[in-house]
Amino acid sequence: MTETHDAVEVISAKRDGGTLTRSQIDWVVDAYTRGVVADEQMSALAMAILLNGMDRREIAEWTAAMIASGERMDFSGLSRPTADKHSTGGVGDKITLPLAPLVAACGVAVPQLSGRGLGHTGGTLDKLESIPGWRANLANEELMEQLESVGAVVCAAGDGLAPADRKLYALRDVTGTVEAIPLIASSIMSKKIAEGTGALVLDVKVGTGAFMKDAARARELAEVMVALGTDAGVKTVALLTDMSTPLGNTAGNAIEVAESVEVLAGGGPADVVELTLALAREMLAAAGREDVDPADRLADGSAMDSWKAMIRAQGGDPEASLPVARESHVVTAESDGVLTRLDALAVGVAAWRLGAGRERKEDPVQAGAGVVWHARPGEAVTAGQPLLTLLTDTPERFDRALAALDGGYDVAAPGTTHDPTPLVIDKVS
């Protein structure tokens, strides 16, 4: 075929601070997907976008071109409305696990296409794969059948959704261009719009353990993504949530599943319950079901019933024992006082080094590895009390995990007051 543009022309336009035309955007995304534009050329364009930005039209057209590179799903034939959630990633962020069955128990179908962990942020699929028999890969027909019968699916995205994004995402990861807001926003939203959900709630994390450390940049990202979803006809809202302290009491795979089951049973850590309910209420409102209070579905056991049905539908045994790490190491408090800080990044890196996460996409993970913390900021501790338990099958990993935690928490004098950051910081709609 005859090419309508060339890569150098498009790169030069953005390098010099210009705006790209719809024709240029459509061509370069398609040509990169086909292999006509080389990795080094797309790397140069990604860097130009990082440095010079894109306006709202360019981001919308770039997102549309990414969507057009693959298939689109259609849930209009389902008997109930659909809503999805996307988190920008954090530490101990197991929220999808109780959230999907909870929203399903409220009458809204949840097609949750999730990913695997990379680096210090955990992956939803890695967590669920610690359940014996559970499988992440479903054919589109299976996905549709499960949405109709159970109401919730958490599975891997198929290769047909936004293949341009899969190729570009891998390139950004190794070229220092991950932080470009236009590329982050189009990456997330191309997949979510192509997925076909009717409503979308975005959990944009802010803080040390988040991708976005700065609140202003997190807000900018949230605003861009909400605009993209809205322009595409998807009812979209975003919550800015704190990720300076890890969520719940665990960071890992099997241990986060166990904590999620506690939430579905009506217990669990207060912050996990709070965020699960906040996101559930936003999803229900966006899907037109404000009449249902998700707290009631936690209390009456129907959310737990949805969880068990969802796990069984994907081959898992919700009653099976979860894997347990073979080795453990306890970190104790050195003095009496008040825990005033537990750094999310330090905990996330420690869990990753223990084997709960991976450095490369192809690396395996340990189902039982991770970190459990026995106190949260604001709580009193005594000398010798366990603060953290490190879990792994490979004890040679303990030293590097302990190094990650060095300086990652503070214990102040007894009686010190602690002023916590609100979990939900703001809403963008």
Active site residues per annotation: 86, 165, 172, 187, 191
What is the C-alpha to C-alpha distance for residues 197 and 184, in angstroms, rounded to an integer? 19
Tokens standing for 27? 């061509």
Strand ranges across the sheet with 83-87:
83-87, 199-206, 235-242, 424-428
Strand ranges across the sheet with 337-342:
380-381, 337-342, 409-412
What is the C-alpha to C-alpha distance for residues 239 and 278, in angstroms, rounded to an integer? 9
What is the C-alpha to C-alpha distance for residues 183 and 90, in angstroms, rounded to an integer? 19
Where helices occur in 239-391 by DSSP H, the ranges are: 254-264, 270-286, 294-299, 302-313, 344-351
Output the CA–CA distances (angstroms, integers) from residue 277 to 165, 203, 338, in the order listed: 31, 13, 29
Sort 109 into a burial class: Cβ within 10 Å, 0-12 / 13-18 / 19+: buried
Collapsing DSSP to helix, strand or coil, 188 comes out as helix
Question: Cβ distance 427 to 239 under 8 Å?
Answer: yes
Where helices occur in 196-253 by DSSP H, the ranges are: 215-231
What is the C-alpha to C-alpha distance for residues 89 and 217, in angstroms, rounded to an integer? 15
Percentage helix, strand, coil for the chain under 3-state DSSP, each rounded to 5: 45, 15, 40
Q: How many CA atoms lie within 13 A of 11 on its CB side?
A: 15
| Farthest-apart Cα atoms in the chain, separation | 74
Which DSSP letter does residue 388 get? E
Q: How do 424-428 and 235-242 pair as beta strands?
A: antiparallel
